[in-house]
Structure 1
């Protein structure tokens, strides 16, 4: 079937419908400012009416946090045609024509996205459509990339675990696309036809969201539409350590004591696999691993006395051969094959290599039982959980709700991770918690703390981990948690220089962990290197109020902590080429070292001024600098008009004074923007050439050159020096 004719049937400010013949309908909604929702399918499926309690309602809630349209549009016929219409909301419009069918997305009177000549077709069980691409147009988002952030000339399949896919694509040309489906979606970004972005969607209904705007506006609207992350707890913002292979809990506690003795900061420990507990009865009561945790309370107390929080591995799995397996299989609490038997997965590190079945988390009772058990563990002192369940679930495996294939592969990891976050957050307002996982799935942006991939211990590994952070950030995920090296890879190329450059990047990120194995811990390095490590860690803890503020900002704007140049400066084509630079939050530009040597080049985006944090010098944007950087420094610049609020130095977050979380303020030129800082109560107002700031009581203020500070009670005035 090929879309061709259109007949206007419904005209409302919030919805316009077109009859396509053969019982099909096209519906367009002005979903939000700069966002149109376009649905094509059977009339009843695009009506938008979903019965409460149905699986369709569950799926819709999983995909969309805000399903209702919140904008309005005007509908008018296109000039010089009797079969065309323009749907306008503000500066954005969609133009539709019939015979041949066409669709164009416009912004500020300019075309930003046009349906290709092939139009929209439904063949067998899938929808096919494409959008024209300019020769030099770049496409960002769509999940994790270890290479170029521009995804042009790739094919990405939504439910292939190896593709590490996420559903949002956008371009600096001013458009974004989100396919709202749990089913398989294939993105051909110019491979089959170099000038067309082709989509195939294996779903009965084609459901597209088209965005028009700057990348920041697109991320904002996309995350409002699909949901945003909760908050991490304060302690999780401190430094982490991944337990060394073969180490007991007591030995890990001794390692922590040695860290503290050598002034190496640490707050959390990621314990290694296998799972810390299994399940032995139908109530899913955790049974602690007796070999590793003979007295679980004693182990948790041992770390708690040192203000250390543990992250423990878990899995919604039941071991094959156990009496619980047979009981839950009979009860229908496990994912099943077409034969009705529970599907058996090969063992992995979490299950000690023993085969297992997965709990059917689509079953409400199973989901609630699993979440409740982990809530009890959190109350007993478990700081966080780690859970990877993005298995390649076979197409013939079915859940209680009827999900299978691509839908089940997308839904299952989301349910597992959401249940664990709810367990950790409990009844906190706003919800706070951390769940470690490297799973990627639709709605990943609702859950914080994406774990970095395992990479090589060389310069390419450093580039790999940074590029994945910037690519998932461009796809809507707020934080990637970096690891300093990889305990599972050879250490031959991990030099002190590489180690410190890696650490410098990670300090200026969402967060990171050290590896516990010999050769990768800071305490296994020479004294001179350890001294530099201590300096970087002091900066990390001073940055925590700013970085946590950037995470809180992500919950309001959808923008990640590490922001690529293309996302932050879409109109500066030169900046896009510097794809291993990034903004840390809105105020700090970072150029990490990606190769050996003291010389590091940095590009300062045009149209703005930048202040060197190391020297205090001011530079106009649009220039490239070559800087001489020792292992204790990197090119880091403050963005003019912003402020950087720093906390005190500390060995762990338990030393923070909650009543005085800030210590010092750095200013980059005349303050214009409210600073990004946790629990922000600092406000900036401009009047008659000066800035008046409230909320800086008791803080040391370092103004830029040429500015002076005057305090007037609770207010600070920043003005030009006379």
Structure 2
């Protein structure tokens, strides 16, 4: 491909003509640190000329459509090549005419570009176009993001296809060296991350047009810009922050309730019961109203009242389908309200699965606004009747040859469907509130999934590798801007013989320093399965969990503003410290705490403390310089956790459940890690730090205990606290 000529330039955009086509190649200064490159028919570039369906698709992917940056364009000097230079602040994009290729700079420093001979190419893919962009990689370039992975957080050498559900892909790719790439499409994307040609990253896009965003900055800046562009999470509220209890496969409601009562009477803190297995409610056979699974309860209100005795919230599974062989299936098939086979014109029948209880079903066509509205409104009734949140996995393997009412089919339909399902449920359970506070539990991954704060973690084994699997998945999802992964302590569906007291407590201590987690409601995986000493350790760690809730929710509130996740890998948190990158099971828990969990038996673990900061051991109060490797030894009542110098940790008083939190006194203590420099992460934070003449002045600490680091003294002056060094 090559550009034939320059067309025009505005303050935010510049257009070129693509040779021998009617396509326009456009570059936008989309935001500071962000360029957008698009190629397609001129009409597709203007939002006011899009069809309503195309506009809806665009809004599924982007919350900010129009560019807000400013650029200038000039021709390259002859010795620099045949092309144009586009500048936005210190970000420079050189576009070469033939072949169409680009190089990205920050100031004078090269950041990213296309391979010399490749650039951008377009091919006829049979039913559409395929665009290939070949990016050049440095020898040691680390590639991060792109969704879930069981292996290294460095995705170099992998091949990932976006609409293959088993590959668990997300669309943001970035490198610690300071660049990010987001492909803005609902079509299929194939990423060849140096597997075919070691120093090339080939991105192949199946779509009518080419649309890609380039980011420049450190990973935190890239996640900030990416989520500002594609959407950020809403607030989860307070109740989801308490510990959960998951129903076991095949377990009756009566058995689940009995175990919940035993936990409560034993003094173990938890706030939520999650029903699992078959959908708790589904459409009646002959009318569009939900009825409950009679194996569980007569209705939502009666089930909610059963669990009111243990003072918990209820989360229930649902699914967007209607059973075959029913009057409603036939009626909605006639209306065109179900996904239809192209060949037969009949509703596609999906085989029975866990959610449907083994019964075959048709999927609601959620691209039809009437169907979407009906399903969301019926779900809202479940909220009104006492269900706190729904759980729904809707990333179905929809075959090619099925077309939705809006014309979506193939890879586009496979991507769009779980997006619509999650959004409809969010509308029902949270969207009607101001602010939009609430959660929808799901394991589905799709573009813009980070708009929904709560993500289900993977199914794991009851062994040390299961702990590591859950942790690595959380860090991988965090690298793709997903704010919270919900962990499970073990797996009720797997053998439990390897779940020793040591593993149980080490796993629990790690999950205390995460977004949240759940117990499994089988006797062998509950605290009561272990001896009194182990149960006392569980109580110890649960007290820590509930005291950390104001800090944890404060991190999530920060994610709403910045896009940074709760659990942050060393690659994400310390891109400029290569020595940190290999420590891939330790992580930052928010901005203040570094956690090095035990991932194998024994009381010793090595910890790397990254350069650039001092680190304070929460267990001993000792300070260590950054760039240090420690081997530490702890009993089951402690975990290697280090506070980052200049930060502080806000803890609440212990409460056995979130319903007993005192909204007027959410905080109890503040731990200082050296001289405070940063305002802390804390729920509904009103604490502000200001530095002046070698001291820190803090407002918002009225009535709180302050635990200073060694060598600091605290003086209170009315509503202000002064932190200074001891003389």
Length-normalised TM-score, structure 2: 0.97
Distance 1:198 1:717 in 2: 55
Q: SS of 2:352's equivalent?
A: coil
Displacement of 1:295 in angstroms is 4.9
Q: Tell me, yes or no, if structure 1 residue 696 matches structure 2 residue 694.
A: no
Distance 2:301 2:220 in 1: 46
Name the residue aligned to 2:107: 108
Name the residue aligned to 2:37: 38
Instruction: Provide closer, same or farther for how the CA distance between residues 291 and 638 of structure 1 changes in structure 2, counting only shifts above 3 A.
Output: same
Q: 1:154-553 maps to which residues of 2 (within 5 A)?
A: 154-280=158-284, 284-338=288-342, 339-553=344-558
Q: Deviations over 1:373-412 (max 9, x none)?
A: 1112112110111101111100111111000111110110
Instruction: Provide closer, same or farther for how the CA distance between residues 189 and 295 of structure 1 changes in structure 2, counting only shifts above 3 A.
Output: closer
Name the residue aligned to 1:92: 91
Q: Tell me, yes or no, if structure 1 residue 664 matches structure 2 residue 662.
A: no
Name the residue aligned to 1:639: 644
Displacement of 1:436 in angstroms is 1.1
Displacement of 1:101 in angstroms is 3.1
Q: CA RMSD in A?
A: 1.3
Displacement of 1:159 in angstroms is 0.1
Q: Tell me, yes or no, if structure 1 residue 707 matches structure 2 residue 717.
A: no
Residue in structure 2 matching 1:610, options 615, 630, 634: 615
Gaps in structure 1 of 5+ consecutive residues: none
Are 2:537 and 2:636, in contact at CA under 8 Å, matched by a contact in 1? yes
Displacement of 1:42 in angstroms is 2.6
Displacement of 1:44 in angstroms is 2.7
Distance 1:84 1:244 in 2: 63
Distance 1:575 1:218 in 2: 19
Are 1:283 and 1:369, in contact at CA under 8 Å, matched by a contact in 2? no
Are 1:672 and 1:691, in contact at CA under 8 Å, matched by a contact in 2? yes
Instruction: Provide closer, same or farther for how the CA distance between residues 470 and 6 of structure 1 changes in structure 2, counting only shifts above 3 A.
Output: farther
Displacement of 1:281 in angstroms is 6.3
Displacement of 1:52 in angstroms is 6.5
Distance 1:101 1:258 in 2: 68
Q: SS of 1:307's equivalent?
A: coil
Instruction: Provide closer, same or farther for how the CA distance between residues 187 and 606 of structure 1 changes in structure 2, counting only shifts above 3 A.
Output: same
Distance 1:605 1:241 in 2: 36
Q: Tell me, yes or no, if structure 1 residue 566 matches structure 2 residue 564.
A: no
Q: SS of 1:530's equivalent?
A: helix
Deviates more, 1:298-307 or 1:330-339: 298-307
Distance 2:437 2:222 in 1: 26
Displacement of 1:720 in angstroms is 1.0
Are 1:245 and 1:517, in contact at CA under 8 Å, matched by a contact in 2? no
Residue in structure 2 matching 1:66, options 64, 83, 98: 64
Distance 1:718 1:6 in 2: 64
Distance 2:553 2:308 in 1: 23
Distance 1:705 1:283 in 2: 69
Instruction: Provide closer, same or farther for how the CA distance between residues 100 and 399 of structure 1 changes in structure 2, counting only shifts above 3 A.
Output: closer
Distance 1:207 1:242 in 2: 42
Displacement of 1:426 in angstroms is 4.3
Distance 1:614 1:220 in 2: 33
Name the residue aligned to 2:18: 20
Q: SS of 2:653's equivalent?
A: coil
Are 2:286 and 2:326, in contact at CA under 8 Å, matched by a contact in 1? no
Q: SS of 1:374's equivalent?
A: helix
Gaps in structure 2 of 5+ consecutive residues: none
Q: SS of 2:114's equivalent?
A: strand
Q: Deviations over 1:302-321 (max 9, x none)?
A: 22343200100000110010
Distance 1:282 1:688 in 2: 75
Are 2:300 and 2:386, in contact at CA under 8 Å, matched by a contact in 1? no
Name the residue aligned to 1:49: 47
Instruction: Provide closer, same or farther for how the CA distance between residues 689 and 38 of structure 1 changes in structure 2, counting only shifts above 3 A.
Output: same
Displacement of 1:167 in angstroms is 0.2
Displacement of 1:282 in angstroms is 7.1
Displacement of 1:518 in angstroms is 2.4
Displacement of 1:283 in angstroms is 6.1
Q: Deviations over 1:665-692 (max 9, x none)?
A: 0010111111101111111111111111
Distance 1:295 1:44 in 2: 52
Are 2:30 and 2:36, in contact at CA under 8 Å, matched by a contact in 1? yes
Instruction: Provide closer, same or farther for how the CA distance between residues 641 and 283 of structure 1 changes in structure 2, counting only shifts above 3 A.
Output: farther
Instruction: Provide closer, same or farther for how the CA distance between residues 704 and 329 of structure 1 changes in structure 2, counting only shifts above 3 A.
Output: same
Name the residue aligned to 2:155: 151
Displacement of 1:528 in angstroms is 1.2
Distance 2:4 2:649 in 1: 55
Are 1:6 and 1:97, in contact at CA under 8 Å, matched by a contact in 2? no
Q: Deviations over 1:589-613 (max 9, x none)?
A: 0001111110011100001111100
Name the residue aligned to 1:123: 123
Residue in structure 1 matching 2:137, options 133, 138, 148: 133
Give the number of equivalent residue pairs: 719
Q: SS of 1:710's equivalent?
A: strand
Displacement of 1:51 in angstroms is 4.0
Are 1:375 and 1:426, in contact at CA under 8 Å, matched by a contact in 2? no
Distance 1:371 1:344 in 2: 22
Q: Deviations over 1:178-202 (max 9, x none)?
A: 0000000000001111110001101
Displacement of 1:262 in angstroms is 1.4
